[in-house]
């Protein structure tokens, strides 16, 4: 691998690693801090939450939620998740009445306290597309494959370079040993000649 290609590859691989680490921090690190991540799939909360945004939801006590708060909740028996704004609270029956801020009317059914997942704390624009891609097939497999390829390309050239260096070192050591052997043979021959001349 010549120096120009190697330099380009190093830049690309570094950029990919940074991107993967960035996504890992925002996807996995947030969960360690108690957040749940959800991708916005409709425009009902625009312009606050745009389609493709990734929202970070923190679990809270439903009794602390007030009108005007945004909540993320289980919408129906199919476990569809939605995020809408609370417009009224029926504390006695433990119901929230909600509405998408881009919608003209309230949601047809109230949200029971037990169906509340939490309250959105912040969002990252368009990261939801990346999250969906890397967490579901075939994107998951593609991401794993890219990771393996990056590891191989990061380490194989160095390993090959070290092997070449070892080979060159071995060759030079063999050459040096041969030279020493030749010198030793020459010295032995000289000594034999001197001994023979003394005997004569």
Mean pLDDT of 96-115: 96
pTM as predicted: 0.62
Instruction: Report if residue 109 sits inside a domain.
Output: yes
pLDDT at residue 114, rounded to an integer: 96
Q: pLDDT at residue 119 above 90?
A: yes
Q: How far is CA 64 from CA 47, 119, 155, 164, in A?
A: 25, 10, 53, 67
Task: Verify that 39 and 132 share a domain, yes or no.
Answer: yes
Domain shared by 126 and 179, yes or no? no
Q: Are residues 112 and 32 in the same domain?
A: yes
Q: Are 99 and 67 in contact (CB under 8 A)?
A: no
Q: Which alpha helices (H) appear in 30-138, and where do they start and end?
A: 30-32, 127-135
**Quick check: is 112 in a domain?**
yes
Cα Rg of the chain, angstroms? 35
Same domain membership, residue 124 and residue 77: yes
Summarised one tens digit per residue, pLDDT across range 150-181 is 767 666 656 655 555 555 555 666 677 667 76
Any domain includes 147: no
Same domain, 22 and 116: yes
User: How far, in whole angstroms, is CA 63 from its chain's centroid?
Assistant: 36
- Domain around 97: 3-136
- According to DSSP, the β-strands at 35-39 and 81-90 are unpaired
**Higher per-residue pLDDT: 26 or 124:** 124
Q: Within this chain, do residues 43 and 79 fall inside the same structural domain, yes or no?
A: yes
For the chain, the straight-line distance linking the first and the last C-alpha, in angstroms and rounded, comes to 65
| Count: domains in the chain | 2
């Amino acid at each position: 691998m010549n120096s120009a290609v190697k330099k380009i590859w190093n830049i690309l691989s570094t950029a990919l690693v940074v991107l993967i680490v960035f996504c890992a921090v925002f996807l996995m690190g947030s969960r360690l801090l108690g957040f749940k991540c959800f991708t916005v799939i409709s425009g009902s909360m625009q312009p606050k939450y745009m389609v493709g945004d990734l929202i970070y939801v923190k679990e809270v006590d439903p009794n602390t939620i007030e009108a005007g708060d945004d909540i993320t909740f289980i919408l129906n028996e199919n476990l569809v998740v939605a995020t809408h704004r609370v417009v009224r609270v029926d504390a006695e029956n433990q119901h929230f009445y909600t509405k998408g801020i881009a919608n003209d009317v309230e949601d047809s059914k109230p949200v029971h306290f037990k169906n509340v997942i939490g309250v959105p704390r912040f969002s990252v624009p368009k990261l939801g597309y990346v999250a969906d891609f890397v967490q579901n097939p075939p994107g998951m497999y593609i991401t794993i494959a890219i990771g393996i390829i990056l590891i191989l390309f990061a380490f194989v050239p160095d390993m090959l370079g070290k092997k070449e260096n070892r080979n060159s070192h071995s060759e030079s050591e063999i050459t040096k040993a041969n030279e020493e052997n030749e010198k030793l043979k020459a010295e032995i021959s000289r000594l034999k000649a001197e001994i023979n001349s003394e005997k004569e």
